[in-house]
Chains A and B, each alone.
Chain A
């Protein structure tokens, strides 16, 4: 603290002690008072305000499958599934090998996958157009399937849910009399299974 000069009237020299004491007190720092914590007077969301309501069922998830690099065949396809009850569906119909592939790759049973049929699978006597014609006539009876011909790649893509893909693959091989192995591909993961 800097020096302080006290001016007092000449007649009050006897009270110098009390003057010094008063001055001392005046020069003490002001007391600090902690302000009380703020309490909102209006209703708050987490306080007395009731929580809102919402549907218990989550909104459907739509996955967009748009894998084709060729502009002319580039069409957005979509599939829909709800999480509810999917896992309750029996997966006992899946073979051990396929079940293993599903668990290794962490696939969801309602996830879309595609069987890729190449020119080699069609055999020497037929081309993909011919097989594609059979495909379009016969895949309509398969569960949740859609298919298209990728002419630039010389492939037929048959889309289906992972849940049905083994059944679909067997059907395709048998009905279309495919030779060799066909591969099941999943977006981002690539080939996950073949038969």
Chain B
């Protein structure tokens, strides 16, 4: 038996792949549930063995994919502390913030029997299956979160904010992986929300990642 580090198994990349795949589904679902886009552009799909709503709008899909493609290196290096889907009103003031707080263990204490390759694969399959179950619970919570949130004003838009562990400027180079998709430091008015109401949605703890999702909702939306 041995203890493997993140680098040994390139777990950072695995975690980034898993989380970005999850975040893509989550963002689509949030945009659908919170009616940021017309429901006509969404189609029902199946992910994590549960029904989800995914946009079939090419430009929106591309935007979300580009955003996550840029975030992936930050998650891989454990530099992303929070990924926040912000829904803003017409004046670009946030009305809701879906905060995905991510924490990864620096050293993985996954003890694998490396002598038995089959067992090794079996262990990783079990691990991924467990993570998938946990992520499914997040999706289910998002799909019913409209029951605990107030309606948003018409004409809302969204953006994705990434809170980094270090100063954002240090991570700018890492995130600029697509030439025509630049990143900037957010304005304070885009980040600050007056009198937010905190609604915890879901928390997960696994061997490779810990994550919690909560919503900050502005008290007066109109």
Footprint of B on A, CB under 8 Å? 45-46, 50-62, 64, 66, 76-78, 80, 82
Contact = CB atoms under 8 A, between A and B. Distances in A.
Contacts, number: 96
A113 B39 CA distance: 21
Given A50-B168, A62-B57, A57 B63 contact: yes
Contacts of B121: none
Interface string B160-198: 111110111001100100000111111110111000000
Given A52-B82, A55-B181, A56-B184, 5 more contacts: A46-B192, A50-B166, A59-B157, A60-B63, A78-B41
A52 B160 CA distance: 10
Interface residues of B, number: 40
A53 B164 contact: yes
A82 B181 CA distance: 13
A59 B159 contact: yes
B190 A61 contact: no
12 contacts: A51-B191, A52-B168, A53-B161, A55-B184, A56-B182, A56-B184, A62-B37, A64-B41, A76-B41, A77-B40, A80-B57, A80-B60
A46 B188 contact: yes
Contacts of B160: 54-55
A55 B188 contact: no
Contacts of A51: 168, 185-188, 191
A122 B156 CA distance: 41
Contact of B60 (A45, A62, A77): A62
Nearest to A49: B163
A49 B182 CA distance: 22
B93 to A, nearest CB: 14
A61 B162 CA distance: 21
B172 A45 contact: no
A55 B71 CA distance: 10
A54 B184 contact: yes
B162 A53 contact: yes
A83 to B, nearest CB: 11
Contacts of A61: 157
B161 A54 contact: yes
Contact of A78 (B40, B66, B159): B40
B110 interface: no
B191 A52 contact: yes
B59 A52 contact: no
Interface string B47-60: 00000000001111
A52 B40 contact: no
Interface string B184-221: 11111011100000000000000000000000000000
Nearest to B74: A53
Contacts of B159: 54-55, 58-59
A56 B37 CA distance: 20
Nearest to A81: B59
B81 to A, nearest CB: 9
A53 B175 contact: yes
B167 A50 contact: yes
B152 to A, nearest CB: 15
A139 B38 CA distance: 26
Interface string B92-103: 000000000000
B86 to A, nearest CB: 8
Given A59-B159, A64-B40, A50 B192 contact: no
Interface string B21-45: 0000000000000000111110000
